[in-house]
Structure 1
Amino acid sequence: MSRLYGALIALSLIWGLSFVFIKWLVEPAGVWGTVFLRCMAGALILLPILWVKRKQIRRPIPWKALILVGIFNAGLPWGLIALSETQINSNTAAVLNALTPICTGLIGFLFFSIELSRRQWGGIIIGFAGILVLMEFSVSQLFSHGFVGVGTMILAALCYGFASQYTRKYVKDAGVLLITIYSLVVGGIVGLVGIWFSGPIHLTGTFDPLFILSVIGLGCFGSGIAHLLFYYMLTKGSPEFATTVTYLVPITAMIWGSVLLNESISANLAIGLMIIFFGVYIATKKPRKNARSVAYES
């Protein structure tokens, strides 16, 4: 059990630090350059493992479905997160990212015919109330130039929610390793397309130690090794245990942001986080008896 808790702590630290790496990387690499670099670095770590385990892969491979998962699990949300961090702090982005389980339930209801109980609807409403607190009830900024930031982070969480539901329905038997690598490769292609349309990127700080550290940390660790840790927690522990990382990542991101970026932790941010946590807990809590429930992934 100590190894499982060690993996949980390590994963929360890695994913929390990822928001700092994005902040460091997005300025020199651009939004889509950040997506491309993190995807390719992560794929380079995992492709040798896939080669070793190639005989264990189930066939036929649902590659068309995996492409869609890659777009909505990596390419689009990672671009939206990078875009968000051009306007908001890394700790705010991490707190909004904690909405993913709630968005997963909402997407399941809207597009996958999944019924939600009153308790789950209550959790969704509470979670979005946390956003209002975080925004200091300035809802108007979501419909103005201020949409880039909070609004784009909500879109990223919705992308994760769609990818999670789609994966569960269509590609759940493909295996986590294959799904992850496909996501990274497709996400890298999305990044290249984004670079093509947004214009060339001038990596003036390519040889800067902070730049190299960000690529390695965000790609190799945050997008590569972290998924192996998550898979280890799923198989050796349980899905419920693995998804508890949802509660830890915003906290570690706040700590990293404060230490490395001198970001302040405002009262609205802390209170909003607590409300979102409570909403996630209510929405994902399993009923005690034989009532139908919906499982969430982050």
Structure 2
Amino acid sequence: MTRDIQAESSLKAWGFLIILALIWGSSFILIKRGLEVFSPGEVGAFRIVAAGMFLLPLSLPRLKQLNRKQIKYLVIVGLVGSFIPAFLFAKAQTQLSSSLTGVFNAMTPLFVVIIGALFFNSTITRRNAIGLFIAFVGVVILLTVKEGAGFGSFYDINAYALFVLLACACYGLNLNIIKFKFVTLKPVAITAISLSLVLPAALIYLFAFTRFSFKILHVDGAPMAAFYLAILGIVGTAIALILFNIMVKVATPVFASSVTYLIPVVAIMWGILDGEVLLAGHYVGIIAVILGVWIGNRR
């Protein structure tokens, strides 16, 4: 019976992993479409507004059931798990392709391990370490492939990648907080309340400090760009975070963060459809990434 339950839990975890890879792998092309009209700040803020408004009916009834300590941690989750990364990714994609941004996002598991070990007394097995190393090698290959010149170096990478790395660090902290600080709180509540707590800041910034209202009424293509960002917020942030938080509950933080190893595959495929170039070296990197995930998460 116990083995059946473990098998079912493992199957659910892998199901969430695939669905989230498809959703979040598509996020970068949606950000790209939004940036065709809106500024990075407008993209980030509207993404949070769409997600927060969508989940507001779920969050309001649950707020009064929380104590001050829970609210404090949920504010942190809202900031590092949604709010700050939304702005960082939008800023990064002003200079990075959607494919490359998706690849950099695969650094998240490394930050999960580091932050977990430093602040949450978590451990990593030898198999996890081997899998993470192989996947990291795959990421390095993807990052350093250069058209017509084999492999380049990290010096060739746009400095805007630092925004993505900072976002990955935020995700690493968020994952550990959810796993270790919210043992009893349900995933839907974590997602809905954390987003509702940062919603006012996003609303104030969007409508008081940007030209979003003007653009949506007077700029050609703005309604369609806003539609793409609404999908990004509702599906790519609100619904995806609920699924992700459920996965964190049934798996380990390292496994849950492994979705970021599959995201580059989806992101690169979207990039190809949008005219971005995929070279032979990219295939080597993709295979290494997927192999690393498989090895690192075997029981």
Task: Give the equivalent residue in structure 2 for 1:86.
Answer: 94
- Kindly tell me: are residues 215 and 158 of structure 1, through their superposed partners in 2, closer, same or farther at Cα, counting changes over 3 Å? same
Task: Give the equivalent residue in structure 1 for 2:112.
Answer: 104
- Kindly tell me: are residues 50 and 65 of structure 1, through their superposed partners in 2, closer, same or farther at Cα, counting changes over 3 Å? closer
Q: Which moved more, 1:8-17 or 1:161-170?
A: 8-17
CA shift, 1:20, in A, is 0.9
User: What percentage of aligned pairs have identical amino acids?
Assistant: 30
Deviations 1:22-76 (A, max 9, x none): 111134332222121111101111112335x649x85436111111111211122
Matched-pair contact (CA < 8 Å) for 2:100–2:143: no
SS at match of 2:26: helix
RMSD: 3.6
Matched-pair contact (CA < 8 Å) for 2:109–2:258: no
- Kindly tell me: are residues 243 and 140 of structure 1, through their superposed partners in 2, closer, same or farther at Cα, counting changes over 3 Å? closer
SS at match of 2:277: coil
Task: Give the equivalent residue in structure 1 for 2:148.
Answer: none
Deviations 1:253-285 (A, max 9, x none): 2333322x2222223333223323333334443
SS at match of 2:95: coil
Superposition map of 1:257-276 within 5 A: 257-259=271-273, 261-276=274-289
Query: What is the number of residues matched between the two proteins?
Result: 275
Structure 1 gaps, min length 5: 287-298
Q: Which of 14, 17, 28 is the equivalent residue of 2:26?
A: 17
Matched AA of 2:92: S
Question: Matches of 1:193 and 1:271 in 2, distance apart?
Answer: 45
Question: Matches of 1:212 and 1:109 in 2, distance apart?
Answer: 40
- Kindly tell me: are residues 272 and 211 of structure 1, through their superposed partners in 2, closer, same or farther at Cα, counting changes over 3 Å? same
Are 1:138 and 2:159 an aligned pair? Answer: no
- Kindly tell me: are residues 219 and 16 of structure 1, through their superposed partners in 2, closer, same or farther at Cα, counting changes over 3 Å? same
CA shift, 1:218, in A, is 0.7
Question: Matches of 2:200 and 2:258 in 1, distance apart?
Answer: 31
Superposition map of 1:25-104 within 5 A: 25-51=34-60, 54=62, 59-60=66-67, 62-104=70-112
- Kindly tell me: are residues 205 and 24 of structure 1, through their superposed partners in 2, closer, same or farther at Cα, counting changes over 3 Å? farther
Q: Which of 173, 177, 182 is the equivalent residue of 1:162?
A: 173
Q: Which of 134, 148, 159 is the equivalent residue of 1:147?
A: 159
SS at match of 1:257: helix
Question: Matches of 1:232 and 1:166 in 2, distance apart?
Answer: 14
Question: Matches of 2:37 and 2:268 in 1, distance apart?
Answer: 23
TM-score, normalised via structure 2 length:
0.75
Question: Matches of 1:269 and 1:247 in 2, distance apart?
Answer: 14
Deviations 1:205-229 (A, max 9, x none): 4252421221221112211233345
Question: Matches of 1:30 and 1:227 in 2, distance apart?
Answer: 24
Matched-pair contact (CA < 8 Å) for 1:95–1:273: no
Question: Matches of 1:249 and 1:37 in 2, distance apart?
Answer: 22
Matched-pair contact (CA < 8 Å) for 2:258–2:293: no
Question: Matches of 2:106 and 2:240 in 1, distance apart?
Answer: 17
- Kindly tell me: are residues 101 and 194 of structure 1, through their superposed partners in 2, closer, same or farther at Cα, counting changes over 3 Å? farther
Structure 2 gaps, min length 5: 1-7, 145-151
- Kindly tell me: are residues 233 and 283 of structure 1, through their superposed partners in 2, closer, same or farther at Cα, counting changes over 3 Å? closer
CA shift, 1:111, in A, is 2.7
CA shift, 1:99, in A, is 3.0
TM-score, normalised via structure 1 length:
0.75
Matched-pair contact (CA < 8 Å) for 1:17–1:253: yes
Q: Which moved more, 1:125-134 or 1:84-93?
A: 125-134
Q: Which of 185, 198, 220 is the equivalent residue of 2:234?
A: 220
CA shift, 1:167, in A, is 1.8
Matched AA of 1:81: F
